[in-house]
Amino acid sequence: LIEVLRTDWRNVLRAFCLRIAETAGYAVSVTFMLSYLVSEGLADRATTLTALMVAAGTGIFATVFWGALTDRIGRRPVYLLGTAAMVLWGFPLFWVVNTGVAAAIVLAFVVSYAVCQNSLAGVQGAWFPELFAAKTRTSGASLAYQLSAVVSGFTPLVATGLYAGFGWIGPALLFGGYGLLGLSAALVTPGR
């Protein structure tokens, strides 16, 4: 741990920023969204559960698809696509769910999960270890994963605070901001 922080802290920081786009993006577009839909009366629990189950079921195949695509075209292109989708999806996500139409809510969850989140998750298992030397690989990748989990754990609270202050625009900007952070990190991270 000390060695990776001393010799390879830049890659730890890059991997942290790449990872937080995925985990914190999920915390806004799925975790926060579940409460938002019910509390605003836009959907009942059955609709949100159905949307989540359809998205998760689709996500199983989506993660494998994105992982296979990264083997063909490279890690960075897939990550750039996923994070760019996040940047662009924040406002449309809320526009779609604010309709209160059950099919639209299911579609919003599928896009958020199978495209935005799974396109990033499908890349990380291969790309993150490639960023580090063999002797610091486990420590470096693990540190990035764990630090991003700590920050992401507070994201629903932050999204709720932003919603209280700015309405749905606050969480939409937060989601897009996490995408922008991941996009910026992907542009400066070595690898194909």
Mean pLDDT by 10 residues, the chain (192 residues): 85 94 96 96 96 97 96 96 98 98 98 97 92 88 92 96 98 98 95 76
- The first and second tokens of residue 141, run together, are 């990748």
- The first and second tokens of residue 25, run together, are 């993006």
Cα gap 39→18, rounded to integer Å: 31
Cα gap 93→86, rounded to integer Å: 10
Instruction: Output the pTM of the full model.
Output: 0.94
Which pLDDT score is estimated for 114?
Answer: 96
Residue ranges of E strands in 27-115: none
Tokens 């799925």 belong to: 30
User: Residue by residue, what is the 3-state secondary structure of 145-182?
Assistant: HHHHHHHHHCHHHHHHHHHHHHCCHHHHHHHHHHHHHH
From the CB of residue 170, how many other CB atoms can be counted at a distance below 10 Å? 17
Length of the chain: 192
Q: Which helix (H) or strand (E) holds 76?
A: helix 75-97
